[in-house]
Structure 1
Amino acid sequence: MKSGQIIDERYEIIRLIGSGGMANVYLAYDPILERDVAIKFLRLGDNNQSDAVRRFEREALSISELNDPNIVAVYDIGEDTHGKFIVMEYVDGVDLKEYIRENHPIPLHKIQNIMLQIVSGMQSAHELNIIHRDLKPQNIMIKDDGTVIIMDFGIAVVSTETSITQTNTIIGSVHYLSPEQARGSLATSQSDIYSLGIVLFEMITGRVPFDAESAVSIALKHFQDPLPDMEQYREDVNQPLMNVVKRATAKEASDRYESCQEMYDDLATIFAEDRQSEPDFVPMGAQSDTIVVAKDQIEQKMRYTDEHQAMAAGKDDDLSDNLEDADSVATQTTPIPVVAAADNDQSPEDKVEQASHKGVKVGPTAAQKKQRRKRLLMILLPIFLLLAIVSAVVFGRGQQIDVPDLAGMTVKEAERVLQEEDLTLGEVEEVFSEDVGAGFVVGTNPEANHSVRKESKIDLEVSKGPELFKVEDYTNQAYADVEKSLRDAGFTVEQSRDYSDNIAAGHIISQDIAAGEEVVAKDTTITLTVSEGVQQFTMPDLRGMNRSGVQQWADSYGVQVSFSEESSDSAPAGTAISQSIAPGDSFVMGDSLSVVMSTGPATTSFDKEITIPYEENKSEASSSSSDEGDGDENSDEDSSSSRESSRSRQTPNEIEVYIQDEVNDYSTPVDTFTISKDRKYTLNFTVRKGDSARYKIVRDGEVIQETQVSE
């Protein structure tokens, strides 16, 4: 999964921040709520896939029901092409394990504050019947503001789901494992309280209380060895705080706190003045009577043990194989028997035996002796078998040490573990790893669980992350060749197709990952756009379209169009007559096209000259005649003067000329003017060949001429 990748069409991956046995955790950004989130993706291996899925789903179910400031918040649960995922609160801080290493010794008041937050969060979980089962400092985060967040409910279980935890199965981290879990019993809320007590012990002392060379040995110590004295590691620890640890880590669950709330109330008052002189807490289980065994009988059983040591050593190997490393155990193991305290109601035979040890001479019968030996053997046999196993581990190995499993640790963490195991850090080699995050141990040389001598050097292989693939420029290359090469490198290759004027068909036009970018091939999908060559189109029939319609079509297809004109008896003027690319033929963008436009039918033109007569105003002419008839001596002179005056008073005629031909219609005059005398006028006609035209002359609103003419 690469930076910038979008999950569920919402969350943008920023970087990998953690990698575990069953999941990878990424820092991501939620653009809707504008906040950073942590996304845990289930990572399935080749085996136990259904179990891993069940645990992953159980974690999502468990913490989605919780709403507590000290428990990591769940925002979303989903599944996409990359698998199942949980979107959680991103906790920016340091885990408690690292905090202890960097700040030891932690002030007692600070320890109290941190522990109160942890216990409070677990009380909320227990109220919903959710048992964490893997409480350890590595699963507890401390933010910069001091808030404590409990993480990783990956093996949490609802306490009523008895089917999830199988008999004789240990699930959890062995350094923090309760005695009942080590025996294979069902984990309860008091099992979590035991783990909290171990975490509190480590916060106080800077170390875990029980440690050994193998997980088996550590598990034995949890229900067999007393808790180490905290005062030998730290002098300032007070009795109330030690009592909280002792009560939380009591071997028997009945001696522990019944609830986290009870532990919280006790822890909250450890500095109260009235508690500073309280006595040391002694569990009720530690107050039971001790079985008294005769020395000769012990020696007899020890001889029996020596004879079967080799057999027991073999059993230890089988048992060790059934446990994982000391940090995380989830395997099958044989329940380890617990020896009950002696019954105070002694039988007569027991009283005889006890009296004999006190020096009282009592003569038991043969049947009593036989019964006594049988009962004693029944009690001691499991103990001696256990001692045989431990002896085989401790004495059989001598100075040999098993190389610890350091996979997934930082170099600093691995070096500390090696020092604790009396081993030395050797060479550190950086290697590429697809599964382990950068900076974490991939493996060791010698390998984990291989026996070596003390002080041996252990070389580390440290991941520098997956090997990055540098993307090249694939444009103009054959798709088939590039696609095979990328798939061989681990890419998921997808393609889209498009036309191209300059990239040959089958070659790559573009790619969605830029050349030079470095990516993890197996987590990357690259999309290549492949050319289908130059796009071809089918020419339509443009005849009958007007000029603007032809131009619009040509622009939409990128065709360069030119026009010419011809007359046509069949095509109306202004419409396309013919085209240079015939209808149905193929063309491509950029092609040239010639279109002939019609000017209409073929026509001929001719002229006709006419005379338009002037007409005097009738009323004026009449008045003038009347004046000429008057007789007097000056009539001739007056008549001449009158005619001159009449001419000066002539009114012009309004003339309208109408023509009907191929160009003009009869509804609108082609010319208008006035005349004050007769006028010659030339008419212009355009007609189809063989056709005629006509005209009319209107004078002062009266048609004076209307004639049909031809060429």
Structure 2
Amino acid sequence: MKQLLGINLGNRYELLEIIGVGGMAVVYKGRDNVLNRLVAVKILKPEFNADEEFVKKFQKESQAAASLSHPNIVNVFDVGYSSEVHYIVMELVTGNTLRDYLNKMQGFMKEDAIINIAIQISSALSQAHQNEIVHRDIKSQNILINEQGSVKVADFGIARAATTATIVNTKEVIGSVHYSSPEQARGGFVDARSDIYSLGILLYELATKTLPFEGDSPVTIALKQIKDEMPSPLMINSEISEGLASIIHKMTEKMPNDRYQNIEEVIQDLKILKGDKSFIVPFQTYDNHETAVLPKITEEELMAYQTKKRAPVTSNVTSEPTKKKLFGLSEKKVNTTLAILAALVLAMIIFGIVAIGKFQDIFKIDSVEVPNVVDMPVAEAVSVLNELGLKTDTTEYRVHNDIEVDHVISQSVVEGEKVKAGYTVKLVISSGGVQSIIPNVKQQTLTEAKVMIENDGFTLGEVTYEFNELPEGMILSQTPKSGIKMPQGTVVDVVVSQGPETNSVIVPSLETKSIREAESTLNSIGLKLGEITYQASETIEKDKVITNSKIGSEVDLGTYVSIVVSSGSETSTEATEETTEGYSSELNVKVIIETDKFVNDTETIKIEMLQGDQRTTIYENVHAKSEGPEFLIQTTVKGTGSAKLLVYYGDVLQLQQDIQF
């Protein structure tokens, strides 16, 4: 490959140093000069540039990988062509590959660590498989462990869209042969279950620090993947549980139909095992396999492999005459003897079948009629069947929108059918409705977050507010967290930033609010309700705020805000005074006292009510400047109609305020 260090791809990505070399590409550490960040740049090797079909596939699959967004997947930022090279720009992960991590480790990895790594890789594959992308090259070299200990799955560059018409690659087997599934090794049909097989090989490697199949050539290893029995990791590492070994066994079954059918099933069993080390996956294989595609391996290679596996056989029969003189009999007599023996054996078999039938009639086993347990809780269904002498298999879970979680979706034997006691009825259990990945709405506006949440089938829940350095209106946090799979319809609560906390606030307009609403609004932003005065209004409804003090002004928290409240139109006020004459009502009066108007350090505050010619003192007390720049006096008065409050600081009239009973 020509020297690329120092060049700028697309006038943006500067190549700094080589950090990895693979079968198809070279990986450089680079700098994105637009966003001023370090990135990893994967460049396709020149020998692949001439293959137009491969280049198209490379670009298509890279763009597909760029659509994936998951905390356990290395992000793909850009795909392009520049300076006669095809490249992918990816997230630069600082850390080690899982292979390097294993090599540096003393002793075997702890089982809980294996499970945690497996769940993270499975979670990444789940995201890919949901987008119909099969990785096809899961191996320890493609799994990165960052400095925080999190797993990142890399190199989706050779993944291909996993449609129902998956293309069979007859030119070459893609993927590292040590981890290749049997169908991948023979160049056949590959779907998401191939990734499950490769992950099973990887888990074997984590448990034992070795690979299950080795050989002196890729063909030899591929043949072992196809033909040889998978060894148990317990043979090398007896410290792991039988449960983990059983999960690995099921993941690495030769036939795809015998494996886990989707990665979510793997995650489910790993999580069960994490909490219950006695858990073991039931061993089950199926004899009714669909017709399998024969291995795309040459006859010579297959024969050579089979010959190597056979033990040498020594025979005393070395000549044709000897064959024809077996035990001194001619070939014709031998054939006659064999025919007679075959007839005798057949007769004995027929006799045995008849005898067994009569024997069973004597000791006939009662049959059991299977009841309907669909839609029952699984525990109840198992109990009902067990009481009838039937066994149950409850290992299969499926997503279901209508059947509740842990309730039976279906049963292998229909209601009313009769079976022998001890028969195993397989139950399919609901894992809940359709599930989706919770979106990441952090640092989005509330409107944007609502759209994202609802587009993914979830519901926006409680919205709370907190002061924060983030701009006002941006989402601070969410519950549940993003990236996890939850049933659609799950409620997502969010916390929204109110911006940085300050000691001042802008006074809002309280027009048309009730007194209670006005006080609540002021309290919510750290202000207090001050004086309330009444004034007739032809436009504002009675008992609603006409205006308030300090609208639009920036004031300190705790400041009192006065309001003017409508007493109704003048006509209705006069009518009210006439109709209420002679009836007394009680009114709560609030008056703000401003100490900067005190002449002395202390002043006598007196409040009088003037109604007609009658003057009544309703409050009188001594107050000091030390009580603060302003404070509130509240008192209760009784009267009818309208009146006027007169507020004196000492002997000086400072304030007049109209009130309405």
TM-score, normalised to structure 1, is 0.40
TM-score, normalised to structure 2, is 0.43
